[in-house]
Amino acid sequence: MLAVVLPLAVCCKPKKAQAPKVLVLYYSQTGTTQKVAETLAASLGADIEAIEAIVPYAGSFEETIGRCKEEMETGTLPEIKPLTSDLGAYDVIFLGYPIWFGTCAPPMKTLLGTADFAGKKIVPFCTFGSGGLDSSVRDITAALPDAAILSGYGVRAARIEAAPAEIDDFLKRNGWIEGEVPALEEFPEAQPVTEEVAAIFDAAVDGYPMLNAKATAFAFRPVPGGTEYLFTAVNLPREGAPESPFDKEMKVYVLALEGQAPVFTQVLR
């Protein structure tokens, strides 16, 4: 009897699910996005490859922005070098890029329009001056209708030193790596700002020239080591500057950790 039962027990043992094969694919001009990409690849044990423009974006910040603006106005995109990775061999692709003019940099747009991402799980990640994760994810979702676009990660270039800890939290919270993280409460209903809370907002955005704003409402929640605020704000008018879409209402996330000055982490416009 045992001779019959034991083989059955062995053959019927469930197989362990095979881990998805992951590629970290990114474009970086200054090396900031590259740091995030390398941290992700190391944490995931994933393959990694950089996207390269055939004609690199070189020169000063003003020259780069000038070229990008001209490309946007003429509807042209830069050519990129062929990938060495076979995208068909991967189940999950982390796509990384800097935010330029509110969305992913042009070399990433070129890739989105030329590579086949059908059936893939896509995890966007980006670096930015003030924000752009939300708007770039919308653009990627529109460009890749046959792919599954999952929750992404973004970090201000000014806060790149905080990225390793945030990436670890992001990967654990979304089930990409094992580990426990404390649950986050939902933000409660917003309330009008007080003078004391307005001072926290002002300190967080102080010195950032592209965010001349005033907080009108706020909500907050506890996070490990401090408090996270979600402010509703409006840009203040600038003398001699024409009205722009950025003059509308926005959401600003601010992190106030114990013993540290408050900093804004991203802006949603």
Per the prediction, the chain carries an average pLDDT of 91
Strand partners, 218: 191, 231
- For the domain made up of 22-173, give the CATH fold: Rossmann fold (3.40.50)
Report strand pairing: 92-100 vs 47-50.
unpaired
Report strand pairing: 263-268 vs 191-192.
unpaired
Expressed in percent and rounded to 5, the helix, strand and coil fractions of the chain are: 35, 30, 40
Sequence-ordered list of residues with C-beta below 8 angstroms from that of 220, at least 6 positions apart, any chain = 187, 188, 227, 228, 229, 230
Structure tokens at 67: 């070229």
- Following DSSP, what letter does each residue of 55-113 receive, concatenated? S---S-HHHHHHHHHHHHHHT----BPPPSS-GGG-SEEEEEEEEETTEE-HHHHHHHH
Q: State pTM to two decimals.
A: 0.89
| Domain positions in the chain | 22-173, 191-268
Q: With both helix axes pointing from N to C terminus, report the angle between 133-143 and 106-114 in degrees, rounded to the nearest 10.
A: 20
Strand partners, 123: 94
Q: Which residue has the tokens 């939290």?
A: 169
Helix (H) or strand (E) holding 37: helix 32-44
CA gyration radius for the chain? 22
Q: Which residues of the chain, if any, have pLDDT below 50?
A: 1-10, 246
The distance in angstroms from the start CA to the end CA of the chain is 70
- HSE-CB for 254 with a 13 A CA cutoff: 28
Rounded CA-CA distance 103/119 in Å is 23
Rounded CA-CA distance 27/36 in Å is 11
Structure tokens at 202: 């002002």
Instruction: Note the pLDDT of residue 6.
Output: 44
Rounded CA-CA distance 68/170 in Å is 31
